[in-house]
Amino acid sequence: MQSMKGETDPSKVKLDDPPYSRLFVLCSRNTTEEELLSAFQKYGTIEQIWIVKDTVTKEPKGITYIKFSKTSEAALALEEMNGCCIGSQSKPLTIKIAQ
């Protein structure tokens, strides 16, 4: 669960502990984990960043899950970062609470 490399099987992680602490992020396919970490870590403790990859090509799909340690941290990140561009990316982020 502590892996920040997006390699963790999400079925083995308590995804919503605490509830609503996991964000669903639509981003550019070439957004890196480092860009995401840099942009989101100021809002709280990030427990996991999971970049969804195509099962065949292993290329990112432009979907990321970011798990915070507290619901309040996730809420603040959502409020502040939704619609923003990060790093060198021109596509604005679309962020929702993961269901």
| Structural domains for the chain | 16-97 (3.30.70.330)
The pTM assigned to this predicted structure is 0.83
Looking at the DSSP bridge assignments, the partners of residue 63 are: 26
Q: How many helices (DSSP H) and strands (DSSP E) are in the chain?
A: 2, 4
Q: How confident is the model at residue 2 (pLDDT cuts 50, 70, 90)?
A: very low
For 18-32, the pLDDT digits (tens) are 899 999 999 999 999
Kindly report the backbone phi and psi dihedral angles of residue 40, in degrees, each rounded to the nearest multiple of 5, phi listed first.
Answer: -100, -20
Between 87 and 9, the more confident residue is 87
Across the chain, mean pLDDT equals 89
Kindly report the backbone phi and psi dihedral angles of residue 12, in degrees, each rounded to the nearest multiple of 5, phi listed first.
Answer: -100, 5
pLDDT at 7 over 80: no
